[in-house]
Structure 1
């Protein structure tokens, strides 16, 4: 998957994660893309720790991995910013 694919999957995953975590009003399209791409890296790392290799698993698996990581990322950010 090329950079355009990463941007599209990241944007969709970041947007869905922001809807799940109820942070959509605070985020724009650029932040959704960044959250989705970072979430994909985070989700891939967490799944690799659990022994799951998601490389080459397909479009849906990539989206679900990015979604998992994006939700976790937003959860942590939301928890840290509410305490400050």
Structure 2
């Protein structure tokens, strides 16, 4: 995550994952929330840098990016779960 330490990344990832879980009406658990939040932020940051050349900075920016990324990952997981 851009400019954040590991502890901050875990905290923001957990919050972003939890918010995505509530928004998407999913029941993944706290560990999966943290993983989805961090992974979502990393993936979406990579995409934003590749397409736009910049990403959102700071705690709030990373929370927004992590939330959107986690929502995307939850949607992808649901698609795979339905086809299997």
TM-score interval, smaller chain: 0.7 to 0.9
Q: What's the CA shift string for 1:11-49, capped at 9, x where partnerless?
A: 0000111111111x3x11111000101001111122123
User: Aligned residue for 2:60?
Assistant: 60
Alignment gaps of 5+ in structure 1: none
Partner of 1:5: 8
Conserved? CA contact 1:12–1:36, under 8 Å: yes
The root-mean-square deviation of aligned C-alpha atoms, in Å, is 1.3
Answering whether residue 43 of structure 2 is matched by residue 31 of structure 1, we say no
| TM-score calculated relative to the size of structure 2 | 0.87
For this pair of structures, how many residues does the alignment match? 81
Unaligned runs of 5+ in 2: none
With normalisation by structure 1, the TM-score equals 0.87
Q: Supply the distance in 2 between the matched residues of 1:67 and 1:53 (Cα, whole angstroms).
A: 18
